[in-house]
Chains A and B, each alone.
Chain A
């Protein structure tokens, strides 16, 4: 880990503080303002701990050894405030470990924004977010680390995989959002430009971690268009992103290489009182180019989809059934060409995951969950948990999780 990466919280908090100090005085809470600013202060948080048990392969720590792995922990807290009726200040700190090192728990600024709602009438809303904003990507990305907002302990890994998660989390820049309510339904759009965080996970997934240099993010773009009918009974969304980074190195042979990640996701959901059916389909175009050394550059399109049924069979109980498929390269779905090239086993290029889950809301603040995964392939298995790449094609996983929030 480089020095600049080791203190993201300090850098981020400094810039957020600067932003707040700049914006704060612009909107003094006047005496005749109908809302008292301190009355609008809200603090929320969450804490989740999971136990991961696998028969083969490791997921989020040494899950296949002894009694499993307890190295999946998520802790977060946020604060929000409305200093003016059209302004929202919000920031969240996240401490998370999913396998890896204990030092991964170091708190990071998850988001920190000044949200200004520039226009609102009875059917329209327009505004902007400046700072570190969460990327609206598919149904779950913006709150992917909060167990209460997920349908299961693990989000469908074909789309919300962990191995390059830092790329998609949030961006430092500016986003514009809009909402229009029409008789046929509600339309929501968000478009943002900014610098994503490129963590060690990305370099590792691209096998650049052992190379001389590091990936630096460039200006990237993200957008989502969402349609909601019947107050959320039916929802459809299309998300797209263009994420860019450059490999910086002292060695000419490595310097200036480009990473480009262009995913598209189509999301559909039908949500009833007692059940919901959700499907998402993603095409993920990823390429490395401009590296002087041949053999480093590549250009592939991956494909992901899942179909998920959740049933609320009691006020506080819910079960889930999901089938989730990942293909790393559409031109080599079985991974046979990959294996023939000597790069690794064919089963590391795809994954098919059948999941059965159960959740119990013991109390509005306490959630207990368990789920079972039958997986064929290791396409989304984090390589940091399985460094010697001696993985098994068929494996089973059992998870338990307790989550608390306030």
Chain B
């Protein structure tokens, strides 16, 4: 490969790859996943943008000043992947990179990771300011649902 050939060859390859893999827009689907919070959280509802900022660990406090404690399932857990895509509109790898960048640059912290949906409920029920997510079927009276606008 000659020096002169480099830029255009690479450019042509990238453009073709891009055209082949253009994203197909998925329609909005009704999700059975819910945002849940500790009963001490006063916020009546939040927007998707705010939810995204909270789970990206960029929003550290609730509007009334209470500290937020984010709880998530492991990246490989199907419920986590559905949550990020359906409720937040982002991909697990984007959230993970966002956490890593905060943690390793001194600009934020990682969320707490729990292993099962039962642990998730338990943690949210017992931690003031906590927020997480759960399938409707798992819901119990110890936590509150936080509607998303």
Contact = CB atoms under 8 A, between A and B. Distances in A.
Interface of A: 33-35, 40, 42, 44, 46, 76, 78, 80, 82, 85-86, 88, 90-92, 111-113, 115, 117, 120-123, 125, 129, 133-134, 142-143, 146, 148-149, 177, 179, 181, 186, 230-232, 271-275, 277, 307, 309, 311-312, 315, 321, 323, 325, 352, 354, 364, 374, 376
Contacts of B76: 315, 364
B101 to A, nearest CB: 5
Contacts of B142: none
Given A34-B66, A148-B100, A86 B60 contact: yes
A312 B76 CA distance: 15
Contact of B6 (A85, A111, A120, A323): A323
A85 B65 contact: yes
A374 B1 CA distance: 10
Contacts of A273: 23, 91
B34 interface: no
A146 B61 contact: no
Contacts, number: 141
Given A80-B103, A321-B14, A44 B110 contact: yes
A123 B104 contact: no
B28 interface: no
Given A86-B60, A111-B106, A129-B107, A323 B7 contact: yes
B108 interface: yes
A42 B17 contact: no
Contacts of B6: 323, 352, 354
B74 interface: yes
B59 A120 contact: yes
A123 B49 contact: yes
B33 interface: no
A352 B66 CA distance: 51
Given A125-B58, A315-B76, A88 B100 contact: no
A371 to B, nearest CB: 15
Interface residues of B, number: 51
Contacts of B67: 33-35, 82, 85
8 contacts: A34-B67, A35-B129, A123-B49, A231-B94, A275-B21, A315-B76, A323-B11, A352-B6
A78 to B, nearest CB: 7
B29 to A, nearest CB: 15
B106 A307 contact: no
Contact of A134 (B40, B93, B106): B106
A158 to B, nearest CB: 13
Contacts of B147: none
